[in-house]
Chain A
Amino acid sequence: MQTWIKGLASAAVGALIAASAGSAQAADPIDIVALYNLSGGGQASLDVPSLNGVKLKAKMINEAGGLLGGRMLNVTAFDTKDDTREAATAAKRAVAMKGVSAAIGFSDTTYVLAAAPLFQTAGIPFVTSGATSPDLPVMVGDEMFLVPFGDDVQAEAMAEYAYNKLAIHKIAIWTDRGMDYTTGLTKYFTKRFEKLGGEVVLSDVFMTSDQDFSALVSRLKSTDGVEGVYAASGPDTAGIIIKQIREAGLDLPIMGGDGLDTDLVVSVPGKAMATNVYFTTHAYVGLDTGPANEFRKAYTKEYGHEPENAFAALGFDAMGVVANAIEKAGSSDPAAVTKALAATKDYEGVTGALTYPEGSHVPSKPVAIMHVDKGNVAFEETVTPKD
């Protein structure tokens, strides 16, 4: 027993030494840290694909000869175990590593808020691949960057599409109260939809861990005049919600944000019932022949299955944006990287061209509106946000 503990402890110390020696060895590799919830809870289904995307992009860059004339990207991943305390300590650990050029991470605002302020203090840029609260840079500071568009942009785009194109004027909204992402979507959607003249006739809430929506479905069914449902849901409940609404015999349009950008939306309800669904997501560039298609192929080759949801592509682009900034800065110094990141213009990512408008760290990116019809997910139109 005791020797067993000793063995583990010495292994741990050995690994620590190896890790610190690795970063101190030479100026050669460029150190990037990635903070994600990889075990211990519900975030893993978003964060594991994100990290896969980050690692894939880093690998591709390294195979193509690295950055700044042959320097390799060295991504160290920290598992923060669905725990804000772990997020904060991982950030402290990363900052203590010295020589970190940039940090990438998280799909949820709360975890970003636990980690990013520490990078802010240390002057290291933090690029979130999946958290979408447009207030993040205000709350954290000038080292904070978003790769996805803000929730306001996609929720407002859907509100306009629903009101103008789908001619829905009375809507029911379902919100997952367990996530900041979904509560944010509902907030911005409602505001814009009501401003356009629409009416929210039913506003129901659920929790991320819920699986039985029968009570909500029955209420939806009995509410008069509902013309559509906006489901502010994450990927894990997206498929079940559609399945249960359709099984109750309701065929009204179901709308949502990029949480619905997962294969589960089609596979769980089945092709026949996955219909009349609309969601906003990232404007993938070249789904058939271009970068998005190549990304899909590379991801499938690397991990043995297709990207699970939109977060994989976002992780891929987060690493890409950072690498692009390092190359532009001509240096791996975090201050220079931050400066170059802020000046990012028309970076051609898989999830659309990314530009940080003057003085903003929330990218101006086009929003794609997708239409699911009998199991086929088709691109409907692109909305470019007005600055």
Chain B
Amino acid sequence: MTFPYLLDQLVNGLILGSMYALVAIGFSMIYGIVRLINFAHGDILTIGAFAGLAAFASADLPFPVVILIVLVAGAVVGMVIERTTFRPMRGSPQVTGFIASLAVSIILENLAIMILSAQPRTFHIPAYLNTLVHLGSVSVRVIDLTIVVLAIVLMIALVTFVRFTRIGIAMRATAENYDVARLMGININRMIMLAFAIGSALAATAGLMWGAKYGQISPLMGALPGLKAFVAAVIGGVGSISGAVLGGYILGLAEVLFVGLLPPALSGYRNAFVFGALIIVLLVLPNGLLGRNQETRA
């Protein structure tokens, strides 16, 4: 094991971790407000990727504009799902929402295959995003740096928003207690819908980044990243935005190092390792690294 090799793998883990972090932030955002594990989150990632593809393909729009379109697309889909599915069952037991989100996921995936076909598609990005940047002995591409920076910027922006703005405070109040928040004159329907809009917009952006990084997207691409982002969110402490980012990085690094440092024959157990880690974290740190002790989990 040489040092450059280890460094290489650490960089790989960091980049993969930022991808997980991007997906996990939105996940945690929704969970923090409505206590819903949204299984369809990964599918919104897919929608974001295809919206990005459509935006690139239909008009040669600049990258920032494409990001904007994807954000809007994600937010709209998130709000529609909230309004049609989750709002009518608010107040039901936790698992009801969970099952409903599974159903939404099945609907979205099957619709996607029916409409878009199951074929993977090429996802091209402007050439400057693919340029190599040399940082000492390792070289990364501009898109990789964009992903890392975006994850951190979004985290800071969201934490600031939730902590210091009026709407953010109202959202947190909603998360604490629906009834009290309502008595304080907060429109909780609007707050919850906003949480879905922001969370889904972030997932869609993550999908765009995913497509930009790997160069290929498909209707089922979101399923596994969605699940892993959930694991990341749990490690960090579900409901905590900075926890989600931390969890994303830890998971990304752990996964890459698992594959990179252990014998190749064990690479096949990659997903087993991720879920094994999830179970262990849940048992040892039931509230995750940065989560607050809000409810009985273990």
Contacts and interface: CB of A to CB of B under 8 A. Distances in A.
Nearest to B215: A268
Contacts of A218: 5, 8-9, 12, 260
A62 interface: no
A348 interface: no
Nearest to A267: B122
Interface string A202-216: 111111011110111
A207 B259 CA distance: 12
B260 A215 contact: yes
From A42, A212, A240, A244, name the one whose CB has the most chain B CB atoms within 10 angstroms: A212
A249 B120 contact: no
A48 B118 contact: yes
Contacts of B118: 42, 44-45, 48
Contacts of A48: 117-119
A277 interface: no
Interface string A297-314: 000000000001000000
A214 B110 contact: no
Nearest to A203: B264
A23 interface: no
A215 B218 contact: no
A45 B8 contact: no
A270 B13 CA distance: 25
B180 interface: no
Interface stretch (B54-62, B191-199, B267-275, B287-295): B267-275
Interface string A265-293: 00111100000000000000000000000
A222 B5 contact: yes
A331 B213 CA distance: 55
A134 interface: no
B264 A219 contact: yes
Interface in B252-286: 255-257, 259-260, 264-265, 267-268, 270-271
A40 B122 contact: no
Contacts of B124: 270
B183 to A, nearest CB: 37
Contacts of B141: 247
Given A39-B110, A44-B113, A236 B214 contact: no
B157 interface: no
Contacts of B15: 214
B162 interface: no
A240 B215 contact: yes
B16 interface: yes
* B contact face: mostly helix, strand, loop, or mixed: helix
Interface in A228-245: 235-236, 239-240, 243-244
Contacts of A187: none
Contacts of B220: 41-42
Contacts of B114: 39
B120 A264 contact: yes
A191 interface: no
B221 interface: yes
B160 interface: no
Interface in B210-260: 210, 214-216, 218, 220-221, 223-224, 255-257, 259-260
A49 B256 CA distance: 34
A269 B5 contact: no
Contacts of B119: 45, 48-49, 308
A243 B8 CA distance: 17
Contact of B122 (A202, A203, A264): A264
Nearest to B4: A222
A207 to B, nearest CB: 7
Nearest to B123: A268
Contacts of A244: 214
A49 B118 CA distance: 10
Contacts of A209: 223-224, 271
A203 B267 CA distance: 10
B259 A216 contact: yes
Nearest to B118: A44
A240 B2 contact: no
A221 interface: yes
Nearest to A45: B118
B113 A215 contact: no
Contacts of A235: 120
Contacts of B214: 211-212, 240, 243-244
A192 interface: no
A296 interface: no
Interface string B8-20: 1100110110010
A177 interface: yes
Contacts of A243: 214-216
B140 to A, nearest CB: 10
A219 B5 CA distance: 8
Contacts of A269: 215
B213 to A, nearest CB: 9
Contacts of A204: 264, 267
Contacts of A221: 5, 8
A273 to B, nearest CB: 10
Contacts of B189: none
From A177, A218, A247, A308, name the one whose CB has the most chain B CB atoms within 10 angstroms: A218
Nearest to B114: A39
Contacts of B146: none
A249 B138 CA distance: 11
Nearest to A308: B119
A-B pairs with the 6 shortest C-beta distances? Answer: A44-B118, A214-B12, A215-B259, A267-B122, A204-B264, A218-B8
12 contacts: A39-B114, A44-B113, A45-B117, A202-B264, A209-B224, A211-B221, A216-B259, A219-B259, A222-B4, A244-B214, A264-B216, A268-B122
Given A204-B267, A219-B259, A222-B8, 15 more contacts: A39-B114, A42-B220, A44-B117, A45-B118, A45-B218, A48-B117, A203-B265, A209-B271, A211-B214, A211-B216, A214-B15, A216-B259, A240-B216, A264-B216, A267-B122
